[in-house]
């Protein structure tokens, strides 16, 4: 269901591009939106002295909160909470109203928010700044190239770029620039917040990279049910393979359960991971098939955060904590499977520090 909608959305996206490319400047903007339901928005007076910024995903909201620290007259809010799958999330009437009252909406893009195109179009017409976080990262060529989705959506970039903390640093700096343009009086605050935060992201990256590279190269395959972790893997010298097969980036792409089973057994991959926004059934089926074929693999000590972070107020409810907890989950799971792993000391000054429940998984 999820995959079908993702593919349909991406096909629309791709055919939209193709149309724009073929018709060139002669096409009128209205034509390509003809098949989408039009959305009527109320006229709103946004000139009330408050700068309202809405982030669509948990990641966007987390970054906005960090960038506006110490400012006055700025309100940030989010639409999707913990555990929400943004590929499928339909904006509610209330969401649309919140976005329409905002000065700017900050979204992920590359079709992650699969159900938002018509709403964004209508918001732009109302004068709301609609800003895609993917743009500066894509313009910079991503830290490690973008990944193409599989054949149905060839040419479309993988939207999960935030999983490389260096990509996220690019996003942070550019979002601070945007906020400074919307609110020039406090531009220096946004810039200083961005600079301090990028230093944190650098600490996070170095820490994660050291731990993730301590696993033998041959076993550095993240086997999950969905496609979210290409950038997360590539950032640290890993490859990933998803049973649902969104990625066919290289020979590691597998199309079905039996291929995954053979792949896991022949590469001696000891752990398969379940993701926070996807039901665990598929991975469970693969583990059972591996055992039936005489192999052995276990499920990770925790779920991986994929397209949404953890609940507000938890370690995984921050970007830094979400990345770090995923790294701990990978390393601890491999360690539990008997692989020799280095779990580096948490860097001094990197906030938030992991709680005992993350440092010592009970399973
Ligand atoms: Zn996803």
For residue 178, give the 3-state DSSP assignment.
Answer: helix
**Assigned domain for 18 exists:** no
Q: Are 275 and 220 within one domain?
A: yes
Task: Give me ligand 1 centre to Cα 160, in Å.
Answer: 6
In 3-state terms, what secondary structure has residue 247? strand
CA 227 to centroid of ligand 1, rounded, Å: 6
Last residue of a domain, one of 184, 205, 226: 205
Answer yes or no: is 54 within a domain.
yes
What is the Å distance from ligand 1's center to 74 Cα?
A: 30
Query: How many distinct helices (H) and strands (E) make up the chain?
Result: 13, 8
CA of 263 to the centre of ligand 1 (A): 23
- 75 lies in some domain: yes
Starting from the edge strand earliest in sequence, which strands make up the sheet with 129-132, in order?
74-78, 51-55, 104-107, 129-132
Kindly state the tokens that stand for 286: 């693969």
Residue 166 and residue 227 in one domain: no
Residue 207: its H or E element: helix 187-212
Handedness of CA 146, 150, 151, 156 (dihedral sign): negative
Domain boundary among 145, 178, 205: 205
CA of 89 from ligand 1 middle (Å) equals 12
Do 106 and 227 reside in the same domain of the chain?
A: no
Rg (CA), the chain: 21
| CB atoms near residue 46 (< 10 Å) | 16
Query: The domain spanning residue 121 has which CATH number?
Result: 3.40.50.1980
Q: Judge if 59 and 195 occupy the same domain.
A: yes
Please indicate, yes or no, whether residues 304 and 170 belong to a single structural domain of this protein. no
Structure tokens at 284: 């469970």
Q: Which two tokens stand for residue 76?
A: 């940030």
Beta strand residue intervals within 221-339, DSSP E: 221-224, 239-242, 271-272, 298-299
Q: Which residues of 312-349 are buried (b: 16+ CB within 10 A; e: fewer)?
A: eebbbbbbbbbbbbbbbbbbbbbbbbebebebeeebee
200 plus 275 within the same structural domain: no
Same domain, 168 and 243: no
What is the pTM (predicted TM-score) of this model?
0.85
Residue 195 and residue 243 in one domain:
no
Residue 92 lies in a domain: yes
What is the CB neighbour count within 10 angstroms for residue 32?
18
131 and 104 Cβ atoms separated by less than 8 Å: yes
Whole-number Å distance, alpha carbon 45 to ligand 1 midpoint, is: 35
Q: Looking at the structure, tell me whether residues 244 and 352 fall in a common domain.
A: yes
- Establish if 17 belongs to a structural domain: no
Give the pair of three-digit tokens for residue 345. Answer: 């000391």
Between CA 74 and CA 289 the distance in angstroms is 53
112 CA from centroid of ligand 1 (Å): 7
Taking CA atoms, 237 is separated from 68, 168, 214, 219, 221, in Å, by 33, 18, 10, 11, 9
3-state SS assignment for residue 219: helix
Residues 234, 191 share a domain: no
Containing domain of residue 237, as a range? 215-359
Task: Decide if 261 contacts 287 (C-beta within 8 A).
Answer: no
CA of 47 to the centre of ligand 1 (A): 36
- Tokens found for residue 219: 């076993």
Whole-number Å distance, alpha carbon 228 to ligand 1 midpoint, is 5
Query: Same domain for 133 and 53?
Result: yes
Alpha-carbon distance values, 19 to 15, 157, 206 (Å): 6, 18, 43
Mention every residue, 6+ apart, whose C-beta is less than 8 A from residue 29: none
279 part of a folded domain: yes
Query: Could you tell me the distance, in angstroms and rounded to a whole number, from the CA of residue 49 to the centre of ligand 1?
Result: 36
In a domain, 77, yes or no: yes
Question: Which of 205, 238, 267 is the last residue before a domain boundary?
Answer: 205
Ligand 1 centroid distance, CA of 187 (Å): 33
Pick from 39, 150, 36, 45: nearest CA to 96: 39
Tell me, yes or no, whether 355 lies in a domain: yes
The tens place of each residue's pLDDT in the chain, 363 residues long, gives 333 333 333 333 333 333 333 333 333 333 444 445 578 899 998 888 999 999 999 999 999 999 999 999 999 999 998 888 888 899 999 999 999 999 999 999 998 998 899 999 999 999 999 999 999 999 999 999 888 776 556 678 999 999 999 999 999 999 999 999 999 999 999 999 999 999 999 999 999 999 999 999 988 999 887 778 999 999 999 988 777 654 333 333 345 678 888 888 988 899 999 876 666 777 888 888 899 999 999 999 999 998 889 999 999 999 999 999 999 999 999 999 999 999 999 999 999 999 999 999 874
* Cα 220 to ligand 1 centre (Å): 21
Same domain, 173 and 291: no
Q: How many domains does the chain have?
A: 2
Q: What's the CA-to-centroid distance between 225 and ligand 1, angstroms? A: 11
């Amino acid at each position: 269901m999820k995959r079908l909608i993702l593919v349909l959305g991406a096909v629309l996206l791709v055919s939209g591009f193709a149309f724009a490319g073929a018709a060139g400047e002669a096409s009128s903007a209205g034509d390509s939106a003809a098949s989408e339901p039009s959305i009527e928005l109320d006229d709103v007076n946004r000139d009330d002295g408050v700068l309202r910024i809405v982030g669509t995903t948990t990641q966007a909201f987390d970054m906005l909160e960090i960038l506006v620290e110490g400012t006055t007259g700025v309100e940030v809010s989010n639409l999707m909470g913990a555990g929400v799958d943004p590929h499928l999330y339909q904006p509610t009437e209330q969401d649309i109203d919140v976005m329409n009252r905002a000065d700017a909406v900050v979204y992920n893009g590359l079709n992650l928010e699969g159900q938002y195109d018509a709403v964004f179009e209508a918001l732009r017409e109302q004068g709301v700044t609609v800003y895609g976080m993917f743009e500066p990262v894509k313009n910079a060529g991503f830290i490690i190239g973008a990944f193409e989705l599989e054949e149905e959506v060839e040419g479309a970039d993988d939207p999960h770029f935030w999983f490389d903390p260096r990509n996220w640093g690019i996003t942070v700096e550019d979002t601070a620039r945007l906020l400074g343009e919307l609110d020039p009086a406090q531009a220096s605050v946004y810039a200083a917040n961005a600079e301090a935060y990028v230093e944190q992201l650098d600490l996070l990256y170095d820490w994660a990279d050291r731990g993730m590279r301590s696993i033998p190269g041959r076993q550095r395959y993240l086997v999950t049910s969905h496609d979210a972790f290409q950038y997360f893997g590539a950032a640290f010298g890993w490859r990933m393979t998803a049973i649902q097969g969104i990625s066919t980036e290289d020979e590691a792409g597998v199309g079905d359960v039996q291929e995954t089973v053979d792949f896991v057994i022949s590469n001696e991959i000891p752990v398969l991971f379940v993701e926070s926004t996807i039901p665990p059934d598929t991975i469970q089926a693969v583990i059972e098939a591996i055992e039936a074929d005489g192999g052995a693999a276990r499920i990770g000590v925790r779920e991986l955060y994929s397209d949404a972070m953890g609940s507000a107020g938890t370690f995984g409810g921050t970007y830094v904590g979400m990345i770090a907890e995923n790294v701990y989950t990978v390393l601890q799971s491999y360690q539990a499977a008997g692989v020799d792993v280095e779990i580096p000391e948490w860097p001094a000054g990197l906030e938030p520090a992991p709680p005992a429940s993350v440092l010592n998984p009970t399973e």
